Structure 1
Amino acid sequence: MPLPGLDRRGVLFVLSSPSGAGKSTIARMLLAADKDIDLSVSVTTRPMRPGEVDGRDYHFVDVPTFKDMVGDGELMEWAHVFDHRYGTPRAPVEAMLAAGRDVLFDIDWQGAQQLYQQAGGDVVRVFILPPSVHELERRLLSRGTDDKNVVEGRMARANSEISHWDGYDYVLINDDVESCFAQVCHILIAERLRRSRQTGLIGFVRKLMTPKTA
């Protein structure tokens, strides 16, 4: 929450991790617990999975449409991930930010890097690590959504993803999801209270310093 009675600028809050380390689970927990943050719904060229809803989980588009969006500057960031394209629509993010809403991003290191290059000080980057490689593989297998070849591909990619940990502002180890979630919440609260984001603070302080007339 902002300081009482003061306007503030929103936070672009990025969660990244290798697949299976828990970022999507923690993102869902954060959205359910915090009414002041909204999810940035990505555009993707991958096929819709059972149970997914267009516009809620992703905006599903074909490759030519995605390329047009890139060419027209409609995406803040985009990347190839597992043979598909993913990107962040610019217009809704900028509207939420200007309105003082926080925006949650469930994206990889490539997207986080591009987003930081464009939005700088508005971006807070959190990287979530698994407690071990063996635990990461166990979590991927236990999901039951991917066959063995896909899981092997995700494990092979995990090493590359983890190597980018030092490009983030905060790095957490998700040994226990409730504990990791609590740490994520603490980070978000602290970042909301940064002086640079309290847009109403200057006027408030000036009023405090103005001498009262008799």
Structure 2
Amino acid sequence: MEAATLTCAGVTAWKTLMVCGQVKPGDTVLVLGTGSVSLFALQFAKIAGARVIATSSSEEKLEKLKRFGADIVVNYKAVPDWGQKARVLTDGRGVHHVIEVGGPGTLAHSIAACRMGGHIALIGVLTGFADKFRSRPLFSNQIRVSGISIGSRADQEDMIRAIEANRLKPAIDRGFPLQEIANAFKHYESQKHFGKVCLEL
């Protein structure tokens, strides 16, 4: 079941941080939410020696993020200007990398969180496709935006070696037997999951 998480969510997070981001020890990574790519990114950032700021609107999930290694957690409902909050948490310098899964509704905050020369990995568009944000900070802060769509076989092989060496365990919320596939989708759509929902074959 854990292996099922690697070929999409895992390798996407790996490509985001390790290949495109070139994350280094001492970097600060901002991960949005508790979806599977964000959780893998949190774990990969930690094994790379980075500091992680993680967001959620659920206090329960924020506690889980701490257990997964998040150094600082921010409730984005309690702190609507969470991009600026992330900047404050880095002594005004901003984060090195943002795992951006929201799209238009969160991108302006991610830009605000980024330091000069920072990197935003645009992975998802959970807030839709209509895009209205101020582009000037991208230019003035020389922020690099990468559109990420999974990774290569070589990326996956590198990731698996790192997972084995660090004994990393994927976050799985719940498993379902194949005959309960409808319930699995209902559980996923309820948006109460943490990490991945997997089918047991």
Query: Per the shorter chain, which TM-score range?
Result: 0.3 to 0.5
TM-score, normalization by structure 1 = 0.36
Instruction: Point out the structure with max Rg over C-alpha.
Output: 1
> Whose RCO is larger (CA < 8 A, sep 6+)?
1
* TM-score calculated relative to the size of structure 2: 0.37
